[in-house]
């Protein structure tokens, strides 16, 4: 058996997240169906992450055990001809037997894109959040530094998800905001992320820009786990899994 | 009665073109439905152009006669709250009684976007043509100059459309290709365009890049109207009405 490490990208607008669901289209199911057509065998893939409904990935890894000697180049071309237009395979290589896309990941980078054009951009409807007004990039950047380091991010986690976790302590290694034209791009890197963590962190910075939260609120949220001191969970359409780090 | 001049943009992916159709969604129908909800009266709009199924517009004008004293700013906000995410109103002003978005137009600019990334871009599936390989920008730019000026563009027109036209003579004032990252952007300006004209002109330049046509073929197509000397009609998804010129 070979263990393939495969990099894909996907536009999440039409999918109920990466993970296979009952009665709803998922990226996993779509990829597994293309794989079974290409290989003539039914396989299960291990994704590096779950992503929520409507969340995108510019770089997403999965591994899959296959009993087939198809060359990697043929695998890429074959998969791209079988997959729909909103999922693409970028690379494929043979990995060690014990490589697992999720458990071997050392960290991830997400970006969140906010479009600040006065009128919504009809070409990025499901690819960015439309925000009417100008966000205060400098103020948000200053507050973003508060998140860097090892913290209990319990206040920045979907309530139902928290119950199933042993720990809500994570390490954020970078969090910054840049302006590109009329877009604000939030970039965050860390060793792991809780459910909705990036969307609540970015939502908190937007509240900071709007004066609805202060830096003290963020510090309190990180110290006490108080969800109310953080900001709201912003919609999924601006969120992209951007990079996944391995040794 | 007022005569409003309104600028909109739309993502054409979900529409069977601008013009109202029987049994197929169109931009015109969608805008007219929003207008009738906003104004409480049924109105017909005059678009500056027809666009084909799947073609986009970054700038598209229509005029509409209304019997309502809504301020222009309220009109914009109201329409944007009633329109779906893929159509937006950018500006609105009172125009002279005899202003007509189509007949008063002095010219238009179209762009055609080709994505040359090795693997398709999952985020621009219906917003650009995916082309595997590198187009020869310089060679295409040189050939593009052949189109500039007043010519009989009969070879660059959909056959069925030609029969209904008095003349297929048009004037192209600019045609050029630039590379932006891994995108090739074709820009063409002229006083008027035949059905499929931009898509066949860009298709001809792509054939030039591929060596399937020569500059002599283009010259022959312009001189004789021979459709076979031109290139193929490329798909609509890369085409945008980009600007409309008025006095």
Q: Find, in chain A, the residue whose alpha carbon is nearest to that of B130.
A: A85
User: Which among B76, B80, B122 has the least Cβ separation from residue A86?
Assistant: B122
- CA-to-CA dists, residue A189 to A99, A148, A174, B80, angstroms: 22, 9, 5, 36
Q: What is the pLDDT of residue A88?
A: 98
Q: Report the pLDDT averaged over residues A14-22.
A: 95
Q: Backbone phi, then psi, for A182, in 5-degree steps?
A: -95, 20
Whether A44 has a pLDDT exceeding 90, the answer reads yes
Distance from C-alpha of B221 to C-alpha of A92, rounded to nearest angstrom: 45
Contact B127 A127 (CB under 8 A): no
Q: What angle do CA A83, B14, B37 make, to 5 degrees?
A: 150
Instruction: Please give the ipTM for the structure prediction.
Output: 0.90
Specify burial of residue B98 (Cβ count, 10 A radius: 0-12, 13-18, 19+): exposed
Residue-by-residue pLDDT tens, chain B, 247 positions = 999 999 999 999 999 999 999 999 999 999 999 999 999 999 999 999 989 999 999 999 999 999 999 999 999 999 999 999 999 999 999 999 999 999 999 999 999 999 999 899 999 989 999 999 999 999 999 999 999 999 999 999 998 888 888 999 999 999 999 999 999 999 999 999 999 999 999 999 999 999 999 999 999 999 999 999 999 999 999 999 999 999 9
Torsional class of B133: left (φ above 0), alpha (ψ -120 to 50), beta (otherwise): left
CA-based torsion, A156, A157, A163, A166: positive or negative: negative
Whether A114 has a pLDDT exceeding 90, the answer reads yes
Count CB pairs under 8 A between chains A and B: 50
Q: Report the pLDDT averaged over residues A38-65.
A: 96
Whether A162 has a pLDDT exceeding 90, the answer reads no
Q: Which residues in chain B are contacts of A121 at CB distance < 8 A?
A: 88
Rg of chain A over CA atoms, in angstroms? 19
pTM above 0.95, yes or no: no
Q: What is the pLDDT of residue B217?
A: 97
- Partner B contacted by A152 (CB < 8 A): no
Report B:4-43 residues touching A (Cβ under 8 A).
9-11
Distance from C-alpha of B170 to C-alpha of B149, rounded to nearest angstrom: 8
Whether A53 has a pLDDT exceeding 90, the answer reads yes
Distance from C-alpha of B3 to C-alpha of B125, rounded to nearest angstrom: 37
Q: Find, in chain A, the residue whose alpha carbon is nearest to that of B84.
A: A122
Q: Report the pLDDT averaged over residues A191-219.
A: 97
Q: Backbone phi, then psi, for A173, in 5-degree steps?
A: -100, -20
- A133-150 pLDDT tens trace: 999 999 999 999 999 999
Which H or E run contains B215? Answer: helix B215-224
Beta-bridge partners for A10:
A57, A87
3-class DSSP state of A116: coil
Expressed in percent and rounded to 5, the helix, strand and coil fractions of chain B are: 30, 30, 40
Domains of chain A, earliest start first = 2-94 (3.30.70.580), 107-245 (3.30.70.660)
Specify burial of residue B90 (Cβ count, 10 A radius: 0-12, 13-18, 19+): middle
Distance from C-alpha of A26 to C-alpha of A232, rounded to nearest angstrom: 26
Select the residue from A27, A56, A58, A119 to test the B interface by mutation, using most B Cβ atoms within 10 A. Answer: A119
Select the residue from A11, A123, A235, A241 to test the B interface by mutation, using most B Cβ atoms within 10 A. Answer: A123
Question: In the annotation, is B73 catalytic?
Answer: no
Rg of chain B over CA atoms, in angstroms? 19
Beta-sheet strands, E only, within chain B: 2-10, 46-47, 56-66, 87-94, 107-115, 129-130, 149-152, 169-180, 183-190, 239-245
Distance from C-alpha of A225 to C-alpha of A121, rounded to nearest angstrom: 36
Whether A164 has a pLDDT exceeding 90, the answer reads no
Q: Which residues in chain B are contacts of A122 at CB distance < 8 A?
A: 9-11, 56, 85-88
Banded pLDDT at A61 (limits 50, 70, 90): very high
Q: What is the 3-class SS of B21-40, one letter each residue?
A: CCCCCCHHHHHHHHHHHHHC
Mean pLDDT of chain A: 96
């Amino acid at each position: 058996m070979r263990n393939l490490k495969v990099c894909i990208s996907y536009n999440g607008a039409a999918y109920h997240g990466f993970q296979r669901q009952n009665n709803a289209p998922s990226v996993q199911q779509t990829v597994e169906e293309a794989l079974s057509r290409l290989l003539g065998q039914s396989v299960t893939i291990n994704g590096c992450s779950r992503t929520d409904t409507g969340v995108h990935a510019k770089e997403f890894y999965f591994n899959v055990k296959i009993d087939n000697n198809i060359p990697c180049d043929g695998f890429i071309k074959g998969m791209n001809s079988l997959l729909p237009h909103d999922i693409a395979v970028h690379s494929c290589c043979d990995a060690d037997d014990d490589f697992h896309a999720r458990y071997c990941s050392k960290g991830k980078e997400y970006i969140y894109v906010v479009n600040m054009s006065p009128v919504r951009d009809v070409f990025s409807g499901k690819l960015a959040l439309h925000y009417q007004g100008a966000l205060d990039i400098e103020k948000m950047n200053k507050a973003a530094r508060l998140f860097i380091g090892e913290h209990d991010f319990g206040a920045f986690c979907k309530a139902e998800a928290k119950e199933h976790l042993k720990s809500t302590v994570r390490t954020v290694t970078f969090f910054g905001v840049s302006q590109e034209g009329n877009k604000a791009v939030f970039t965050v890197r860390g060793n792991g992320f809780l459910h909705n963590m990036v969307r609540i962190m970015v939502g908190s910075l937007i509240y900071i820009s709007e004066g609805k939260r202060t830096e003290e609120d963020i510090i309190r949220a990180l110290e006490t786990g108080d969800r109310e001191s953080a900001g709201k969970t912003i919609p999924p359409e601006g969120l992209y899994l951007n990079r996944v780090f391995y040794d």
